[in-house]
Structure 1
Amino acid sequence: MAPVVPWPVAFMGIDRPESMASVVVWLALLALLVLLVRWRRRSRTRKPPGRPHGTTLGSALSGVRERLESVWSRTSGSAAAWQEMEEELISTDMGVRAARRIVEVVRETAVAGADEIRPVVRAELNRILAGYDRDLHLTGTPSIVVLVGVNGTGKTTTVAKLASRLLAAGRQPLIGGADTFRPAADTQLRVWADRLAVPLVSGTRGADPASVAYDALQAARARGADVLIVDTAGRLHTSHNLMEELAKLVRVLGRDGDRVSEVLLVMDATTGQSGLAQARRFAEVGVTGVVLTKLDGTAKGGVVLAIEDELSLPVKFVGVGEGSGDLLPFDGPAFVDALLGAA
């Protein structure tokens, strides 16, 4: 009686053991090749957490730097020249007060030409940006960090970038998704949380944001997370009710004796001076620092000086790309070098 041949083998016309072994080997090699191709694709697109890989500040601010150099090279000491310099500085979004102060310092030193003006401006900018506490203060267990801001500033992406930085520093973050009004926010957070392998606690659509934030705090305690990062819904700073809701969320997080370590205002750098009005209103809910996003786009950068000079709020981080590692601690001298060119 002839041996029974399994139908897949018979279908392929293989009726000998050595032929079957050959097919198995080829199938194994094919599977290995597929896995290798997929690994190479992922390794090309994957970006390591906590490391910058987007546009650098120097390249982002190159246009501003070139315009300033052009103005300074033509400076002759005339009233028209000083006016042109002031207007160019204002165009960087640094504000009228800071621009006038810089021009006045340059006039008093009686310098002319880009090579002489640049170090004077550098010294004044460094002076304006000095003396701010830019550290991310993480106190308590878990430490609580709340991100706030208007719609479209990049809060949700910033939450993920901050979680990535904390992971790289050996921390164990948990994300609280308290934006219960925008369905896409929860989806976006889940994608990031899965990618970073960070636990996420969120609520149903329309749920009370303060309750969701409190549930996330309880979960952080239960799971042993040492940092809770809370994403809040974007809101217009002119809406009294929405701002009161935000203040309630911060109060609820601190009602069991906990202390909210940081309330970070996420601002879009491309909004320029209009962002100052936002910052003034959000400061009323206890903002401790600013995250300035989208400096890799059309931002002019000078708004950093306006925020700190007029509102006394430290810029703690800047976003220079869309990857998880594109959140950089703000460094005053490095920013001045990016704006004016290295000394």
Structure 2
Amino acid sequence: MSNKPVVATMTGDPCGIGPEVVVKSLALGGMYEQCRPVVFGCTESVQQAVDMLGLKLKVRRVSDVEGAGLDPAVIDVYDTGQLDPKFITPAKANAECGRACAAWLKEMDALALAGKVQATIMGPINTDALKMADKFDQVVSVEVGKTYLFLITGPLRVVHLTDHIPLRQVCDIIAPDLVYKALRTIHDDFTRWGIPNPRIVVAGLNAHAYGEEDKTQIAPGVERARAEGINVTGPASPDSVFRWCIDGEYDVVLAMYHDQGHIAVKTWGFVGNCAMILGTPYIHMSVAHGTAFDIVGKGIASHEMMLTAMRQAANLASGKGFHKDAVAA
């Protein structure tokens, strides 16, 4: 049996472009050299994508990841019958597909926690479909102080201390212990992924990191982490830290709030980036785009973000660090 990590990829909502971008990524063949890729979703939706793209790939339904993901000519789909194919309505959201997406995520989570899957990837989901199914709150999200949104775009890697919180409240939420916990998580996860002694830079909250919050709410957390041997600098001027990371001076930036990190990431490079949740028991990644109902079935959806997520997940699960050429075809 192969000792490569099993990377489980949920197609996303089958009414959108998810199955297409997953199939395009696997059709390149290279993923099978890095890992054992297994698709989670509806077998029929994957077959439809293969047929639409005119690919000579076999689609096989499986109910166990054991022995799956070994043949580049075969796409193995873990399908336990969560969705009746008759409910696939291309370019139109519906509750049944939303419910199925939540179920597929739950199945991946269970297998990952059981050690049968080493990394999971969430394809593009549809918010409306999840809300119709009353499953929106069940989708993996970040919890302040426990898990963190982590965005990757080439050399720029950004972890967010806080996420969807009004900026006015961020000033009150930031605290030394919160900063320390994030730095501890970054250090431990990066080390496990094959990046020993990761170089972390912390973005300040205020211009040039000259503010009371920087001095009393951020700096003490940084000092505590540094005292424990974590290689961290900051708080530093937030208008400079992202460029330092791009230039290779640091491995990752810890941003204080959503837009501070997102603006930098989306300005530097939106195509081919991916996201993950830091602090979970296993690697959990996702793509940064939606279901793109306007181009469903046209065969023109870009697979670069999905391919990046797959390659990064495989590398990190293997303890090989970040994949430097993740979007290369």
Decide: shared fold, TM above 0.5. no
**TM-score where L is the length of structure 1:** 0.31
Greater helix fraction, Structure 1 or Structure 2: 1
TM-score of the superposed pair, with normalisation by structure 2: 0.32
Structure label with greater radius of gyration: 1
